[in-house]
Structure formats: C-alpha cells, structure tokens
C-alpha cells in the first residue's frame, strides 16, 4: 500500500466517523474511511435524515429541539410516546422514551443533555394506527433494527450480502434505559421482499454519497405490519460485524483495508460479487458484559486474570475479546481491570450453524462452557434469551427483553444450575445464585480451623495492635471467596456468632481517603454502586465548605449525587427530609467511589440556641 495507513481501532468508534480527523491528516497518511463530505452527511443523524427524505426514502417523524417547550409541541402534534435521542449520542446511551407529559422535563434534562446540550433528535413511536405518509408510526413493542453492510470503492458500491437483525435493546441500568444491543443474528428472517426494499434504499443512499469504504445503513421495521423507515448511517465497522463475516465469508476488516489499496482494482480481488451470493447458514453474536442483571444491570467492575476465564471452543464457535494473555511486562502476570469509564463489553461469543436452530444450540453450549470466575456477567440473560420459546419462533422485537426480563432471568439461572451440577467444575460467580445447593471451593476450610486476627491502626503506629482468635465451629456454605457462612467462636464475643461473608460484585474502595458507610445506620447515605461523581447537591457542597444550616437541607426525593458509569448517569436520591451533617471523606466531583462508600451523614435540622439574658 502507498503511504501510511491510519485507522481508529480498525474502523471502530466515533473517531473513525470524524470529518475533522479525515481532513486534518497530511497527504502521507491514508484515511481508511469515506470522504470528508460523505462523513459530514453520514455521521450527522439529522443530515442523513434530510438526505433520505430528498431521495424518497421513508423516515420516522423527527425534529431538532432545544427546549422542553419544543418537545411538548412535537408531542402535541404527533402524540405520546416519543423518544428523545441526543443528536451526537451513541450506542443508545442518550435515548429516553417519554410516555406522558409530566416526564418530559426530567427526560430532556437528564437523558438527552449528557451528550449534546439540548440538541436532540425526536423520533415518534406511536403505539397504534401504523400508517405510511409524511409520518410513519411504529408500535414501541413492534420494531426490529436491521443493519445492512455496504462496501464502496471509487464509483462502485456493493451490498454486503445480508441484513443483520439487532432486536435486543432496552436494557435497564439502574433507573435509565441503555438501549444496548446484546444479541445479533444474520441473516435476517424478514420476508425477501422487505429485504430487497431495504437493500435498494441503501444502495440509493450509498450511490448518491459516492460512498467509499465500509459502512452500515440501519432501519426500523414494524414486526406487525412490515412497514419500515430509515434510521441512520454508521460510516464504520460496527461491533456486530462478526455475524456478517460468518455468513458471507468476507473478512470485513481486511476488505476495508483493501478498499484503499491501489493494487486492489477489482471486486474479485476483494471477494465481492454483484449480486452477492446467498448467505451460508446462520450466525449469532452474544455480547458478554460485566453487568449484574439482578441489580438492574449495574456495572460489575473488578480485576480479571487468565486463570479466571475459561472460553468455549469447538467447530462453529468464535471468540472476539480484548482480554489478551500477553503479559503487561516481563516480570508481571497479565491482568485486566474493568473500570467505570468505558464500555462493559468483555467479549463477543459467536456461534455459526447450518440452520438457525443449530446456531442457537451451539450458542447455548458455548454459554455452558463459558466461565468468568471474578466478575458478575450477563451470561444468565444471554442463556435465558436462547432458551426462550420466542427466540426460536422469531417472535422478538425491540422491547421484548424489557417485557420478558423476569422469565429470561429465570431461564438463565436454571441453565447455570444445570451446568454446575452436571459438570463437576468450580462454580463461578455467575453460577452462585442458581439453584439451592452448596457451592464448591478450592480453598480448604473445615470446622475447627483456627485463625489469629491482628488489628492495628495504619495511622497511629505507636498504638499497640489488638489480637483476636477465631475458630470455625461449623460451615454451612463454602463458596469462598464469593461466599462463606457458618458459625464461629471468637474472642470478640463470649457466645458463638452466626456469620455470612459475601464478596461484593462491585469494586472495593481503592483508597484510604474514603470511608465505608454503616449499613445498619439509616442516616448513612452510601454509594449503591461503583461510579464517578459528576454532580453534588448544593447541600452537600455547603456541608463540604462548612456552609450555613439553611443551605444544608435536602428534601425527600431530591437528587443529592449523580454518578457516571460508562457515561451513563445514575442518581442517588435523599431518602427523607434531612439536614446534611457532614460529607464523607474524599467525596468530591470527579472522585470514583466504590460500592458502600459513605457519601454523607444525614440528621435533623439543628435547633438554634436560645440567647441568655
């Protein structure tokens, strides 16, 4: 190839969509992607919608808004529910569905502003009377997302062969909708007539843009009426590209590079043909994430080592992951930290089969073999989806998971229980809640074991250490270090004490500047998860600055702290009308808190002292 090649994570991510980056590069560097003008149009959701309209491609009703009055005006004209989406948001994190007028204010301020400061896109999802006209209305529970890969080289544009179905979104993270896809399949099981229409529309858009490079054109399809609208263009390789590769036999990353190689002058050299050959079999991609589905899909940060992971294998199974086994340095063993700043994706598990049923069977088998011993993952949800009858019948839409989450979780836990009982392997943290049976552990702990505990101050080195003896009388559950319970005799108490030790699924406090909240004290406000502080209530700031009493009062239900987890915001609200007595050590904007960190101590409003004569 001539010159130097530059990609952004092989074409992943928002940097690869930036017209400014492509324009700023010197001639000696070849930008792997569309032209700056194509990027300007395709990476801007509103401009893409305008382009589609000009070419006669149907779009959902939408308008750019700047205030909540604009939101309400749109809703009055089109009806509820509506969806607020940050114009520059990504991955569904800026999405908020509003069902009633009273929810507009909070949704607009808390879920759209995070990315683009009130520049949002509105798209209508009307729950009835689907019709095509200037407005195409969809039922919220009846849409599937259909991405179509497109290749472009100079003046020639080629279809990537088949649509992918991305119909799993609406995942809940604390109180906010993440709308993150977790399962993708290829090829689509829509009727061929609909697929042809979407391909034709994509080719029309791509040819008008003189599209060069690899990109994805996305649509929403009403699963009841099969009406469809254009959604957006992603001028880059997407996370779900693996299923396209599996059913077409095309290496998308390689092809993307060859599209910009001067020696690759023909479609044959790129393994591209027109029309594309029919897909070979079916592929399913499962996104394995570090999330706890039993706690509203909160992030499960922590540290992983190679010994903590067992990957599935065998014909038709592929694993794409950033968890490399290469040591960080020559004198250190590899380990990986899952923090709060980035996406929780650990790996993509891809299964391929001759039929959809075979691919699903291999995907279920892969999840049974998968082991992650140090983090809580969404494996139970993935397993539950694959075990659900709706999965095999194709009765899936965009909000299916939200409606069926309890059944899916139950099916997933049942699979985990069968896996542990039948395998004879060590139970992972993912398996611990499943079934009513004792977990096993590689740590040998037996009744009668005696431990010596020495406690001393880390600050006052002159103080004498305190020594205690602990003896295990009985053990009812040995899943150490995940869980250990039983009865112990100690010098701490004259009578035996029943105990239960459970390791948190969240990150521990990593600095001595923080305090742990007392879980038995209702006046202690603790962080329920790991996250970065992005906003503090004025009352907490006043307490930090020793402000006056009047400024340190909060009312029940007021948001006192906002935490950011993977750029998603989670709110902590005041449980009662109270006075903020003091702030926890180290609490400030920008601090990363672990689960259980003391945020503040509440109390009654102090009474003014009466003056004496």
Domains and CATH numbers, the chain: 4-60+141-270 (3.30.470.20), 288-325+333-423 (3.30.470.20), 441-452+466-503 (no CATH), 524-603 (2.40.50.100)
* CA atoms of 358 and 356, how far apart (whole Å): 5
Catalytic residue of the set 137, 212, 236, 371? 236
The answer to whether the beta carbons of residues 438 and 477 sit under 8 Å apart is yes
Predicted confidence at residue 443, as pLDDT, reads 61
Could you tell me the CA-to-CA distances from 447 to 323, 486, 575 in Å, in that order? 38, 9, 42
Q: Has residue 129 got a pLDDT over 60?
A: no
* CA atoms of 235 and 13, how far apart (whole Å): 10
* CA atoms of 588 and 242, how far apart (whole Å): 42
Q: What percent of the chain has pLDDT over 90?
A: 18
Arithmetic mean of pLDDT, 230-259: 86
The answer to whether the beta carbons of residues 289 and 346 sit under 8 Å apart is yes
Q: Range with the lowest mean pLDDT among 142-151, 387-396, 601-610?
A: 142-151
**The pairing of beta strand 143-153 with beta strand 156-159:** antiparallel
Q: What are phi and psi of 258, to 5 degrees?
A: -70, -25
Which DSSP string corresponds to 12-71? -TGGGG-HHHHHHS-TTEEE-SS-HHHHHHHS-HHHHHHHHHHTT--B----EESSHHHH
How confident is the model over 235-249, as pLDDT tens digits?
888 888 899 899 988
Predicted confidence at residue 326, as pLDDT, reads 60
Q: CB under 8 Å to 461, separation ≥6 — which residues?
A: none
Q: Phi/psi class of residue 318: alpha, beta or left (left: φ > 0; alpha: ψ in -120 to 50)?
A: beta
Q: What are phi and psi of 482, to 5 degrees?
A: -65, -45
Predicted confidence at residue 428, as pLDDT, reads 44
**The pairing of beta strand 531-536 with beta strand 483-490:** unpaired
User: 575-597: string of b/e by CB count within 10 Å (b at 16+)?
Assistant: eeebbbebbbebbeeebbbbbbb
Q: Where are the alpha helices (DSSP H) in 395-439?
A: 400-423
Predicted confidence at residue 167, as pLDDT, reads 41
**The pairing of beta strand 483-490 with beta strand 466-479:** antiparallel
CB count within 10 Å of CB 392 equals: 12
Q: CB under 8 Å to 297, separation ≥6 — which residues?
A: 171, 172, 173, 174, 178, 291, 378
Written as six digits, the tokens of 259 are: 């599209």
Predicted confidence at residue 365, as pLDDT, reads 95
How confident is the model over 69-118, as pLDDT tens digits?
888 888 888 777 777 766 555 555 556 677 788 877 777 766 444 443 33
Alpha carbon 98 to chain centroid, angstroms: 21
Find the helix packing angle between 356-369 and 400-423, rounded to 10°: 60
Which DSSP string corresponds to 510-533? -STTS-B--TT-TTEEE-SS-EEE
pTM, entire model? 0.69
Q: Is there a catalytic annotation at residue 364? A: no
CB count within 10 Å of CB 6 equals: 14
How confident is the model over 484-525, as pLDDT tens digits?
888 888 888 888 888 888 766 555 455 668 888 888 888 999
């Amino acid at each position: 190839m001539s010159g130097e090649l530059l990609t952004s994570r092989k074409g992943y991510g928002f940097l690869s969509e930036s017209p400014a980056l492509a324009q700023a590069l010197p001639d000696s560097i070849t930008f792997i992607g569309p032209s700056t003008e194509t990027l300007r149009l395709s990476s801007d959701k509103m401009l893409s919608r305008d382009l589609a309209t000009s070419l006669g491609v149907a779009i959902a009703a939408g308008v750019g808004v700047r205030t909540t009055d604009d939101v309400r005006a749109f809703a009055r004209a089109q009806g509820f529910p509506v969806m607020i989406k940050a114009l520059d948001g990504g991955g569904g994190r800026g999405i908020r569905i509003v069902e009633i007028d009273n929810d507009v204010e909070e949704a607009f301020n808390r879920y759209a502003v995070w990315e683009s400061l009130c520049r949002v896109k509105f798209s209508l999802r009307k729950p009835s009377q689907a019709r095509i006209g200037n407005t195409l209305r969809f039922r919220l529970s009846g849409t599937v997302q259909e991405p179509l890969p497109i290749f472009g080289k100079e003046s020639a544009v080629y279809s990537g062969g088949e649509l992918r179905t991305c119909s799993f979104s609406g995942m809940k993270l604390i109180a906010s909708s993440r709308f993150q896809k977790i399962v993708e399949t290829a090829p689509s099981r829509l009727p061929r007539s609909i697929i042809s229409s979407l391909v034709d529309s994509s080719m029309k858009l791509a040819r008008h843009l003189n599209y060069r490079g690899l990109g994805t054109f996305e649509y929403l399809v009403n699963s009841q009426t099969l009406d469809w609208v254009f959604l957006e263009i992603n001028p880059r390789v997407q996370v779900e590209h693996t299923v396209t590769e599996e059913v077409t036999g095309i290496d998308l990353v390689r092809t993307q590079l060859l599209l910009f190689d001067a020696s690759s002058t023909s479609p044959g050299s790129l393994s591209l043909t027109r029309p594309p050959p029919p897909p070979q079999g079916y592929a399913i991609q499962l996104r394995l994430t570090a999330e706890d589905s039993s706690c509203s899909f909160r992030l499960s940060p922590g540290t992983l080592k190679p010994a903590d992971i067992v990957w599935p294998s065998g014909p038709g199974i592929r694993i794409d992951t950033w968890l490399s086994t290469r040591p960080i340095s020559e004198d250190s063993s590899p380990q990986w930290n899952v923090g709060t700043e980035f996406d929780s994706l650990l790996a993509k598990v891809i299964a391929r089969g001759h039929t959809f049923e075979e691919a699903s069977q291999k995907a279920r088998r892969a999840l049974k073999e998968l082991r992650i011993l140090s983090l809580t993952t969404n494996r139970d949800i993935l397993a539950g989806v694959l075990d659900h009858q709706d999965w095999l019948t194709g009765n899936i839409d965009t909000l299916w998971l939200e409606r069926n989450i309890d059944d899916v979780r139950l099916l997933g836990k049942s699979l985990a229980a069968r896996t542990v009982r039948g395998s004879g392997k060590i139970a992972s943290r993912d398996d611990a809640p499943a079934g009513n049976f004792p977990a096993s552990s590689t740590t040998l702990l037996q009744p009668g074991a005696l431990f010596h505990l020495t406690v001393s101050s880390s600050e006052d080195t002159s103080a004498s250490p305190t020594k205690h003896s602990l003896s295990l009388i009985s053990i009812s559950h040995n899943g150490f270090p995940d869980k250990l319970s039983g009865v112990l005799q100690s010098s701490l108490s004259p009578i035996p004490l029943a105990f239960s030790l459970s390791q948190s699924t969240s990150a521990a406090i990593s600095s001595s500047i923080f305090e742990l909240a007392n879980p038995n004290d209702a006046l202690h406000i603790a962080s329920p998860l790991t996250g970065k502080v992005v906003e503090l209530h004025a009352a907490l700031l006043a307490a930090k600055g020793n402000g006056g009493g009047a400024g340190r009062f909060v009312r029940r239900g007021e948001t006192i702290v906002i935490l950011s987890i993977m750029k998603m915001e989670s709110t902590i609200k005041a449980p009662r009308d109270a006075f903020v007595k003091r702030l926890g050590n180290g609490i400030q904007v920008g601090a990363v808190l672990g689960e259980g960190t003391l945020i503040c101590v509440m109390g009654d409003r102090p009474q003014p002292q009466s003056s004496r004569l």
